[in-house]
Amino acid sequence: MAINVAAARKESASEPISQDYLDEITRKLAATAEEYDRTSEFPRANFDYLAEKGLIGLTVAPQYGGRGAGYAEAIRVLGAVAKGEPSTALILFMTYAHHAQPERLTRWPRHLYERLAREAVAGGGLIGFFRVEPELGTPVRGGMPKTIARRTGDGWTITGTKIYATGSTGIDWFAVYATTDEDKPRTGVFLVGKDAPGISIEPEWDHFGMRATVSHRVVFNETPIPLDHAVDVRKPNEWVFGVDDKSLAIWNSLSISTIYDGVARAARDWLCSYLKERVPTNLGASLATLPRVQEKFGEIEALLHVNRTLLESTAQKADRGEDLPLVFLNIVKYTATSNAIRAVQIGLELTGNPGLTRKNPLERHYRDVMCSRIHSPQDDTILVGAGRAGFGL
């Protein structure tokens, strides 16, 4: 893929990314969002475009050629991408999170990390975290993966099945969570290139929303990888989500919240135009002039204002290095995604049948925003944790 170097450097690391620049990205990606929703294909053209804009390596450190963006800047970009096409944003978030975590530089072999970092800056190097399994579900709730990493003479082989593997058919690297076959098994991340032998992708993703994430089933059958591609392997009790790697918990909270807030903002903008342009013959004025409609639209504005304030302030605190308890981060996710869902639901209440008609994007936005509920940690885990903290338990 040819990268437009001039365009990639358009927004230099010394200058803030302008809102006009982000609005341009949103418009570009929104133009084909309906097509990707219908075809459920990996949004390759979107990533080619983001590569030309120099945005794949946004969070890569300057020493490797990246912008070194912090949380606040990165979620502005993710929000703009998500408002245009949210599946693209969800896939992109994994690469942003990967390069924004300082633990990578201490735990991963430096030459491997640098390789992926420079690939991202060049417009490639997309990486996905493959953790969920048919038997285990998500490891956030505990348990050891059934995917097995076996030592060979000069490396490892990976055998097992991953489901909900976001980005499966289009990303470059799979970060596979597996258990070793050692006498005292360890668990961790094994880096697998997309072209390694013994990989099959079963196209089973046919989802209610976020259809272009291509989150298919990926099967590894004695897939060989080099010895040093066991990039982060630990004793099982050393893996505690949000404790051993706080930056991942921050990224998860802010990014998931931002992506679905972006969906709600796209729905809000369409709804605003619809209500201003819809003039029933018996009214003689647009629906936007009705006090009841204004009240409900005002509720949407309030929900999204809370989201923006909460996400921006949390990102700024994270960039300053303030301590952010895991319970608080989870509450941010719960609040922002709940507000996003409610905002889109109000749109459906105001539009009725037109809002559920596929020719109108509100129907797609509703399907997409409802997918916020499936991301870990899920609402029950968040609320139990918040309740226990409230009780001091």
Statement to judge: residues 274 and 376 lie in one domain: yes
Residue 101 confidence (pLDDT): 78
Statement to judge: residues 253 and 375 lie in one domain: yes
Statement to judge: residues 360 and 297 lie in one domain: yes
The answer to whether residue 8 is domain-embedded is: no
Q: What is the mean pLDDT of residues 183-210?
A: 95
pLDDT band at residue 111, thresholds of 50, 70 and 90?
very high
Statement to judge: residues 324 and 260 lie in one domain: yes
The answer to whether residue 54 is domain-embedded is: yes
Statement to judge: residues 342 and 209 lie in one domain: no
Residue 267 confidence (pLDDT): 98
- Cα–Cα distance, 22 to 83 (Å, whole number): 10
Mean pLDDT (the chain) is 92
pLDDT band at residue 4, thresholds of 50, 70 and 90?
very low
Residue 3 confidence (pLDDT): 34
The answer to whether residue 19 is domain-embedded is: yes
The answer to whether residue 1 is domain-embedded is: no
In tens, the pLDDT along 132-161 reads 999 876 666 567 899 999 999 899 999 999
For residue 207, the domain's CATH number is 2.40.110.10
pLDDT over 70 at 6, yes or no: no
Residue 240 confidence (pLDDT): 63
Which run of H or E residues covers position 277?
helix 246-277
In tens, the pLDDT along 51-94 reads 999 999 999 999 999 999 999 999 999 999 999 999 999 999 99
Residue 361 confidence (pLDDT): 97
Statement to judge: residues 230 and 252 lie in one domain: no
- Cα–Cα distance, 60 to 100 (Å, whole number): 7
Statement to judge: residues 96 and 133 lie in one domain: no
**Which residue(s) pair with 230 in the sheet?**
190
**Domain interval for residue 284:** 246-391
Which run of H or E residues covers position 304?
helix 291-319
Q: Dig out the tokens for 134 from the structure.
A: 């048919």
- Cα–Cα distance, 121 to 230 (Å, whole number): 23
The answer to whether residue 3 is domain-embedded is: no
Q: What is the mean pLDDT of residues 107-126?
A: 94
Statement to judge: residues 298 and 372 lie in one domain: yes
- Cα–Cα distance, 148 to 185 (Å, whole number): 10
Statement to judge: residues 212 and 111 lie in one domain: no
Residue 236 confidence (pLDDT): 78
CB 218 within 8 A of CB 170: no
Given 101, 124, 147, the domain boundary residue is 124
Instruction: Return all residues near 328 (Cβ < 8 A) that are at least 6 apart.
Output: none
For residue 321, the domain's CATH number is 1.20.140.10
pLDDT over 70 at 10, yes or no: no
Given 109, 124, 139, the domain boundary residue is 124
For residue 72, the domain's CATH number is 1.10.540.10
CB 307 within 8 A of CB 336: yes
Statement to judge: residues 274 and 369 lie in one domain: yes
Statement to judge: residues 86 and 175 lie in one domain: no
In tens, the pLDDT along 238-253 reads 766 544 567 888 999 9
pLDDT over 80 at 178, yes or no: yes
pLDDT over 90 at 305, yes or no: yes
128: left (phi over 0), alpha (psi -120 to 50) or beta: beta
Bond preceding residue 377 cis, omega within 30 of 0: yes
The answer to whether residue 4 is domain-embedded is: no
Total count of domains within the chain: 3
Residue 137 confidence (pLDDT): 61
Whether the predicted model's global pTM rises above the 0.85 cut: yes
Q: What is the mean pLDDT of residues 269-284?
A: 93
Given 238, 257, 292, the domain boundary residue is 238
pLDDT over 60 at 5, yes or no: no
Statement to judge: residues 263 and 381 lie in one domain: yes
In tens, the pLDDT along 346-379 reads 999 999 999 999 999 999 999 999 999 999 889 9
